[in-house]
Amino acid sequence: MTTTEIRPFRIEIPQAELDDLHSRLANARWPEQLPGDGWSRGVPVEYLRELAEYWRDGFDWRAQEARLNTFPQFVTTIDGIDVHFLHARSGNPDALPLLLTHGWPNSVVQFVELIPQLTERGFDVVVPHVPGFGFSGKPPETGFGVAQVGRMWAELMRRLGYERYGVQGGDLGVYVSQETAKADPDRVVGVHLDSGVGLPTEDLLPELNEEERGLYDQMQQWASLGVDHHMLLRHYPQTMAFGWNDSPIGLLAWLLQKFHEFTFAVPVPDDAIDRDLLLTNISLYWFTQSAGSSSWLMYNSVKFVWPSGQKAAPTGLYSGPPGIRRLAELQNDISQWSTDNPGSGHFIAMEKPEALAADIATFFDSLA
């Protein structure tokens, strides 16, 4: 085996691991509901208990596993770390390849609805698991960062034989997509994002006009709704990982808390995202034991910072507000700033995949 070999991969979770998950769910020790309305104290016991029962008795992992396996999958080793990725070809001989990077706490499951939308529009699609997530290897030491992932993605696309390609992402995917463009400026033709652009840093606050201040206040209001997971994972990722790795109820509660904050326009996450899709993502975290290792971005940081931006390639944004275009253009070459797209959640690929695919296609068609 050469160090650049690309090996076929197929998801096959042993039945013993499924049985163990079901046993742990059946034998969970439930806390009492604390005083307070709705989600004011965290995930409501009644809601989580009903979802846990569905995870045990109604959710069909094997069906979801088969669905994931409809996408050709591979593993290759880059910088000593195994990178697992989906590779869906469109059949279009002139296809523009698109590399999609998922966010946290997500996985390649983020894009299972989006991929067919893109291949039908004539794109080849590559979706890797970021190291530390899913079936990719885990960073072996501290100091691993998004710039290294960007260089790994450039090498992945080189191994696949792509001379030019686009990148897309939201959440963590914004950071990685921008770093990929910086690492591979001669081949990345465009960067399409769905969050994290045009957000004011503290030094820019005095320069905001009245309209921009209103948008900033919206951002602050949203940020105040949830727990600062960056702070928590910066200090105690190992401590939290004991619970996530040993208790599926603990993992379910943690990830549902975050998805609740990321789907702030609806009462519960599965009002915005199909619950089978949510549970597929959570199951993947459980089976790969990656809840702790997936938090490397936070624990390797000193403080939270917005993506730094890049001008190596044009940038398109799915939906402008609450970002501020004037600020986005300080660090990015903005060529598309959509303001009328549907959906207001954080993981738009899971909520509105058709609309996102249309916006992606419009952006990259404009660069042709």
pLDDT band at 224 (very low <50, low <70, confident <90, very high): low
Tell me the C-alpha distance between 114 and 118, whole Å. Answer: 6
pLDDT exceeds cutoff 70 at 333:
yes
Q: What is the pLDDT of residue 264?
A: 85
pLDDT band at 198 (very low <50, low <70, confident <90, very high): confident
Q: pLDDT digits over 53-78, tens only?
A: 999 999 999 999 999 999 999 999 99
The average pLDDT across 76-88 equals 98
Tell me the C-alpha distance between 291 and 289, whole Å. Answer: 6
pLDDT exceeds cutoff 90 at 214:
no
Tell me the C-alpha distance between 131 and 133, whole Å. Answer: 5
Q: What is the pLDDT of residue 59?
A: 98
Q: Which amino acid is at 23?
A: S
Q: What is the pLDDT of residue 185?
A: 98
Tell me the C-alpha distance between 348 and 110, whole Å. Answer: 9
To 5 degrees, how large is the angle CA 287–CA 288–CA 292?
115
CATH placement of domain 14-367? 3.40.50.1820
Tell me the C-alpha distance between 201 and 183, whole Å. Answer: 25
Q: pLDDT digits over 102-128, tens only?
A: 999 999 999 999 999 999 999 999 999
Contacts of residue 253, Cβ cutoff 8 Å, sequence gap at least 6: 42, 43, 48
**Residues of the chain above pLDDT 90, percent:** 81
Q: What is the pLDDT of residue 345?
A: 85
pLDDT exceeds cutoff 60 at 1:
no
Tell me the C-alpha distance between 281 and 288, whole Å. Answer: 11
Q: What is the pLDDT of residue 2?
A: 61
Which of 188-192, 218-222, 288-292 comes out lowest in average pLDDT?
218-222
Q: Give per-residue burial for 39-75: e unless 16+ CB within 10 Å, then b.
A: beeebbeebbeebbeebbeebebeebbebbeebebbb
Cβ atoms of 219 and 324 closer than 8 Å: no
Q: Please give the torsion angle defined by the CA atoms of residues 208, 209, 211 and 214, in that order, rounded to the nearest 10 degrees.
A: 50
**Residues of the chain above pLDDT 70, percent:** 98
Q: Give per-residue burial for 306-327: e unless 16+ CB within 10 Å, then b.
A: bbebbebbbbbbbbbebbbbeb
